[in-house]
Amino acid sequence: MNLEDKIKKLYDYNKRLHVFDAISALTDWDRATGGPKGGIQIKQEIFSYLSGEEYNLLTSNEFGELLKSLEMQKEELNQKDRRLFDLTKRKAEDVRSIPKNEYTEYSSFIAESQEVWEEAKENNDYLMFAPYLKKIIEYNKKFAGYRQKNNMPLYDVLLDDYEEGMTMKDYDKFFETLRKDLVPLIHKILEKGKKTPISWDGEIFDTAKQEELSEEILKIIGFNFDNGMFKASAHPFTTGFDNKDIRLTTRYDEKDLAMSLFSTMHEGGHAIYEQQIADEYRFSMLGGGVSSGIHESQSRTFENEYGKSREFLRFCLPKLKQKFEFLKDVDEEYFYRAYNQAIPSAIRIEADELTYPLHIMIRYELEKEMMNKDIDINTLNIKWREKYKEYLGIDIENDSEGILQDVHWAAGLIGYFPTYALGSAYASQFTEILKKEIDLNKLLENGEFKPILEWHKENIHSYGSLKTPKELLKDVTLEDLNPKYYVDYLINKFSKIYDL
């Protein structure tokens, strides 16, 4: 086979893997957006079929030979093909490194573990879940061990899975800055800051009207409905088939408009990223957002830097007043402050912009301990409580609202959490540049997203996974990760809001 044919074969394999992903995404989308209870079993059959076929493909001799042979001619590949080769090889190695029986065993363990977690959370019984967490950490250590190169720390193997190129060393430095600069600010706000009571508390936001509003907002920010779909689900999420069919959901709470408003902005950010990826990467591993962290940077930009900005809220307020009569006397400044309060709370997904990264820092520190030391997992809930007290100044009343709140660990995701905070930092670093090139505030005030989307497309979105997260960040901002922008943004914003 000549090189051209080999490259073609690489793309063919990618297309096949992409079909598996698309079927999986569609099946999960259906489950989350109305598929009946009775359908769970056939869905499990579909997932198990897909993971089996993916495993077979990635571990087949023919595929292995292709990769080996391309490796030898790697220097002859252009940037796009070389990157696709790297991504494909990485995925193959991840799967090939784990013996099939262990992989299967782990998959069913994870399914069980999530069920147990759900029950444990319901019953506020951490000790019920702890043995599962212990075993998940063991599995993750073992699997990371299979893939470990040059004696790198096992946790680094996992961190790299979710954010290519990031290590404990990077994250330690990153979180150190957050701890140093944000914890004192939060404590100051707790002591001196005054709350803005929400004057429309107790009013009912009609769900149908919220839905209209969310759709309106998605249109304003530039989500393309011909290439996507929007629904409601218990937990908002975005899923992608390819740039021509991207789907997102939001969540409605009759008592709290902020829930749907900012969830829609957040998921809208994810979805628009995927929609703006260049067509040439479709049906391959290049055709999706490059990493959890970069993805989160886009969603958090839309949710926080744009969505919760004074300018965009100024633009939105009249629309809200039209739909919700009881808001008619709400003043703009008041509205801005009401939706931008920093109030430490137990639940990560309900956290405000300022306290959010500290929730992540706590999880990062605990993951690090679990992965690096042989600590007692049965008492990890105590450590959880201590850290919440220390960083956020709050007492965790029970484990359901503490260590049991998130599904991630139960689902085997170790090393994923830190990307949530990283995303916000990327966001501020990107926005710093964007602001130099376009008049962001004016555009937000006018609800004029076209030039904003163009900027994101040209600088970030269109590349898909062509560049690594580090390359992408450097190409746009001309420097490596620098949490200063993020910390400055938060200090600046919240000092003003709280008149500190």
Which residues are near a second copy by CB under 8 A?
Answer: 15-16, 18-19, 22-23, 26-27, 29-30, 34-39, 41-42, 45-46, 49, 224-229, 241-245, 283
Q: How far apart are CA 252 and CA 208, in angstroms?
A: 9
Count of other CB atoms within 10 angstroms of residue 198 = 18
Shortest distance (Å) from residue 249 CB to a second copy: 13
Shortest distance (Å) from residue 144 CB to a second copy: 32
**Toward a second copy, which CB reaches closer, 29 or 324?**
29
303 annotated active-site: no
Shortest distance (Å) from residue 18 CB to a second copy: 8
Count of other CB atoms within 10 angstroms of residue 300 = 27
Shortest distance (Å) from residue 42 CB to a second copy: 5
């055709």: which residue's tokens?
287
SS3 percent helix, strand, coil of the chain, rounded to 5, is 70, 5, 25
**AA identity, residue 352:** D
Note whether 22 and 291 are within 8 A (CB): no
Q: How far apart are CA 247 and CA 4, in angstroms?
A: 35
Q: How far apart are CA 114 and CA 134, in angstroms?
A: 14
Shortest distance (Å) from residue 30 CB to a second copy: 6
Count of other CB atoms within 10 angstroms of residue 259 = 18
**Toward a second copy, which CB reaches closer, 45 or 332?**
45
Where is 228: in which H helix or E strand? strand 228-232
**Toward a second copy, which CB reaches closer, 171 or 283?**
283
Q: Report the SS3 class of residue 216.
A: helix
| Among 367, 336, 351, 240, residue whose Cα is nearest residue 295 | 240
Shortest distance (Å) from residue 453 CB to a second copy: 17
Note whether 401 and 346 are within 8 A (CB): yes
Which residues have CB under 8 Å from 487's CB, separation 6+? 177, 178, 181, 182
Q: How far apart are CA 310 and CA 330, in angstroms?
A: 14
Count of other CB atoms within 10 angstroms of residue 386 = 12
**Toward a second copy, which CB reaches closer, 242 or 406?**
242
Angle, helices 126-147 vs 154-162, to 10°: value is: 90
Shortest distance (Å) from residue 50 CB to a second copy: 9
Per annotation, catalytic residue among 71, 115, 163, 267: 267
Q: How far apart are CA 177 and CA 362, in angstroms?
A: 14
**Toward a second copy, which CB reaches closer, 72 or 208?**
208
**Toward a second copy, which CB reaches closer, 57 or 128?**
57
**Toward a second copy, which CB reaches closer, 382 or 453?**
453
**Toward a second copy, which CB reaches closer, 230 or 391?**
230
Shortest distance (Å) from residue 449 CB to a second copy: 20
Kindly write down the DSSP assignment for every residue of 233-296, as one continuous string. Answer: -SS--EEEEETTEEEEEE---TT-HHHHHHHHHHHHHHHHHHHTS-GGGTTSGGGS-S-HHHHH
Give catalytic residue positions: 267
